Amino acid sequence: MLTIKDIYAKAGDKDILKGLNLEVKPGEVHAIMGPNGAGKSTLGNLLAGMPYVEPQSGSVEFLGKDLLALDPEERAAEGVFLAFQYPVEIPGVNNMYFLRTALNAQRKYRGEEPVDSAQFLRMVKQKIKAMNMRDDLLKRPVNVGFSGGEKKRNEVFQMGVLEPRLAILDETDSGLDIDALKIVADGVNQLRSADRSFIIITHYQRLLDYIEPDFVHVLADGKIVKSGSKKLALELEEQGYGWLNQ
């Protein structure tokens, strides 16, 4: 599904990704851990098409296409979704309107019929219940005045509505209380399927108790320095990252 080959990339004018390789097959869940500043968010941003992340060399193939050649909105319509580490607030843009516009833009790109507002409302009502989110958040402007946890939940809710093929969750578990963590994990687990994959960036193995990863990778200094099973996350939790250098 996703093949990242020897990627070098700058964030602003700094070299951040330095020869990163990663292969994600359909249905797999990959967890990425690693020290602060290692380049985890930069990887997510690169895949989503953030303008200030500039690939220098290497390639990214997604469902047979050259991902880096596509605009951010095209990547989204092809099925890439990034749950942001820091979701932005957009005053004046209603959450529901935003999400329906996004969904219909993606459908249009794929040559599908738009969903009308009644259909959309039914679908959203059902998803929001499953996400255990307060539905008044939908009527508010995107993320404006949301608590940290509410913003993260809103990201996962959007993921539920947009049903991507590849979801990248960038520290979606940070700042969540235990109940919210379970809700977010539920949201992910409900979406898990044979043709959908996840990259889960996290600092805490706690989340991985709820979302069983197939692989755990350590990203340090711009590349994957170690890969393993779920056990690796436990080792990291106990010992930190220092031992990897020895």
Q: Which of 20, 28, 33, 41 binds Mg ion (CB under 5 A)?
A: 41
Q: Which of 22, 103, 185, 219 binds other proteins (CB under 8 A)?
A: 103
Pairwise CA distance, residues 44 & 207, whole Å = 18
Q: Which tokens hold the place of 173?
A: 């578990």
What's the residue count for the chain? Answer: 246
Instruction: Give ∠ CA 192-196-201 in degrees, rounded to 5.
Output: 80
Residue 167 has φ and ψ, to the nearest 5°, of -110, 130
Contact positions with ligand ATP (CB under 6 A) in 13-72: 14, 16, 34, 36-42, 52
Contact positions with other proteins (CB under 8 A) in 40-99: 48-51, 71-73, 75-77, 81-82, 84, 87-88, 90-93, 98-99
Cβ pair 148, 118 in contact under 8 A: no
H or E segment to which residue 102 belongs: helix 95-109
90, interface contact from Mg ion, ligand ATP, other proteins, none, CB < 5-8 Å by kind: other proteins
Cβ pair 218, 244 in contact under 8 A: yes
Q: Which of 57, 101, 126, 189 binds other proteins (CB under 8 A)?
A: 101
Site for other proteins, rule CB under 8 A: 48-51, 71-73, 75-77, 81-82, 84, 87-88, 90-93, 98-99, 101-103, 105-106, 109, 141-142, 158, 162
Q: Which residues form the interface with ligand ATP (CB under 6 A)?
A: 11-12, 14, 16, 34, 36-42, 52, 85
